[in-house]
Structure formats: C-alpha cells, structure tokens
Amino acid sequence: MDLESVRLFVRAAEKLNISEAGRSLGLAPAVASARLAKLEKNLGSDLLHRSTRKVSLSTEGAEFLPFAKELLAQEKAARAALGLETSEASGTLRFTAPSSFAQMYIAPILPEFLDTYPSIKLDLQLSDRMVGLIDGSFDLALRNSALADSSLKARRLADDRRILCASPDYIDRFGAPQAPKDLHAHALIGFQDHSARDLKTADGRAGVFDPQSANCRLVLNDGLSQKAVTVAGAGISMNSMWSVHDEIREGSLVRVLPEYDVDDQSVLWLVYPKSNVLTAKVRVFIDYLVERIGRSPVWETS
C-alpha cells in the first residue's frame, strides 16, 4: 500500500478538503484527487464523499481512518529505529562522484566533515565513469553534466565551464589552430565516448570539437590522466576549468581557441532520487559541500 496516499487520505479526512490536504503535502489538487481515487480503487471502497461544495468521510472511510493512522505511526516508528526521525545527522551515507573532482576538492575536506558529524559514516564510490544512482542504492551523487533524468532532484553546486587546452610544447611543435575547422589537422585527445562537443563564442560564433573525425589516437576515461598527458604534449583536449585552472595559471597548459567555450550546458549538480526522503545526513553533507566548494569556487576566482 502506498503510504504517501494513506498520508494524503488522513490529511483529507482531517481537513475535509482534498485540495488543501494535497497542498500541505506539496501536491497539486488534480494530483491529490488522482492519488486518492487510486487508493480507493486499490481498497475497493469509496473513502470520501465528494460534492461541488464539500467533502465528507464515507462509512468505509471512517472505519479505515484509525488503521490509516496506525500505518503512519508504524512507519514513523520504523524510521526512528533507523535513525531517520531524529534531528541528529547519523548513519551511513553512500555517495558517488567523479574521481578527478573528488580527489582535488572533496577528499581534502572530508576529515573536517567527519569531525563535525561524528555519527555519520561515509561510503564513497569514486569513478569518472557515471554510476547509476538508483541502481547503486546511493543516497547522493555528484554529476558534472546537464541534468536530464526526471527521476532525480538536484541542488546546483557550481558551474562546470569547459575549455580546450594543450601544452606550450605541443603548440610550439604543431602551431595553434586559428578556427575550429583547423582542429581536424591536430592530435585530439578523447575522453570516454569521445563524442563531438559544440563550441561557442560570446558573440555567437560556433564550431565543433570532434575527436572522432580527427587524428584521435588517445582516448581516456580518467580526467587526471587526461590532464597529465595533455601537459606532457600528447595533443589538444577538452577540460573543465576546475581541473586545469592551476596549470593554466602556471603556464604548463595554454588555452586553445581561447575565445571558444564548450557549449554543453554542463553544471556540477548534487543529485538524489525523488523517491528518497532528504534525510539529515544527506542534507548536512549537501550543505557542507555547497559551503566549502560551491560558495566561491576557486577555479572561478583564481
């Protein structure tokens, strides 16, 4: 039985107003009515009498109401047994993130977080290959891409601006492309699926970074390794500013086609399944990452 529909029924029975009950749970009136109708169909009884002017409990609804309240009380007791109804952030938090970003920005600040929240245990899976959030039973994930999955909720951590870069040695040997069309004559470094990415300037000029149509002899699935081979002079690669801002500042990497950014709407998101309750342990970890990393990203200020 869907406990959220049971909760909605109890609210509607208390308020004798389906729309108001739905709004109190963040539901639109039409959604609330549909959920109650589905609950009634599953139970095989009309729980509420509806008219254009008022809502009232049916005989069956009045009989079901105490059992509905007991179901919700049992749910609350079960959640309390798991530490989910307490205000203290506690329990194991399973988190997945790209390994490159985690090594540079998350791992160094974890000791402070664990000291601040001694009742939380972190279980981290770090990989530059995207891991399924729901299939992997993760509480939270960091995604550095456009958010397209409608089954997820998200909080923005920071922009993920991406650029093209190469080493000064590579530019000295092979020259710098003057326009996106020149890239096909260069050694391009591909990342994971090495798919084509659109390029765009502030004034609207467009181009494409497409390793598959060029001389792409090197494809990697690890961001730090990609940066290392680019610094070593292997070719031109696409990188996030958070990954290469130090190298750009120090001069071990230079921007290629500096007026162009990669136009893929990529953002650093902290995401969690819509079906999950935002527990205290997840909420405090999100707030901590936003405060320590997202409030003033070092790659945007250096």
Give me the CATH topology for the region 162-262.
D-Maltodextrin-Binding Protein; domain 2 (3.40.190)
The pLDDT of residue 43 is 92
CATH number of 91-160+266-301: 3.40.190.10
Domain ranges of the chain: 3-81, 91-160+266-301, 162-262
Q: In what order do the strands lie in the sheet with 197-201?
A: 206-209, 197-201, 260-262
Strands (E), 53-205: 55-57, 91-97, 120-126, 140-145, 152-159, 162-166, 187-191, 197-201
Query: Same CATH topology for 3-81 and 91-160+266-301?
Result: no
pTM: 0.68
**Among residues 57, 32, 34, 35, which one has the least CA distance to residue 47?**
57
Distance (Å, whole) CA 178 – CA 260? 11
Question: Residue 148: exposed, middle, or buried by beta-carbon count in 10 A (0-12, 13-18, 19+)?
Answer: exposed
Ramachandran region, residue 225 (left: φ > 0; alpha: ψ -120 to 50; beta: rest): alpha
The pLDDT of residue 152 is 72
Distance (Å, whole) CA 200 – CA 197? 10
pLDDT tens series, the chain, 302 aa:
788 999 999 999 988 999 999 988 888 889 999 999 999 999 999 999 988 778 899 999 999 998 888 888 777 767 665 655 555 788 899 999 999 999 999 999 999 999 999 999 999 999 877 776 656 678 899 988 766 666 678 899 999 999 999 999 999 999 999 999 999 999 999 987 777 899 999 999 999 999 888 878 899 988 999 999 999 999 999 999 999 999 999 999 999 999 999 988 788 999 987 655 577 888 899 999 999 999 889 888 65
The pLDDT of residue 295 is 87
Tokens at 34, concatenated: 């549909």
Architecture of the structural domain at 3-81: Orthogonal Bundle (1.10)
**Among residues 218, 196, 219, which one has the least CA distance to residue 207?**
196
Distance (Å, whole) CA 64 – CA 252? 71
Tokens at 35, concatenated: 């959920």
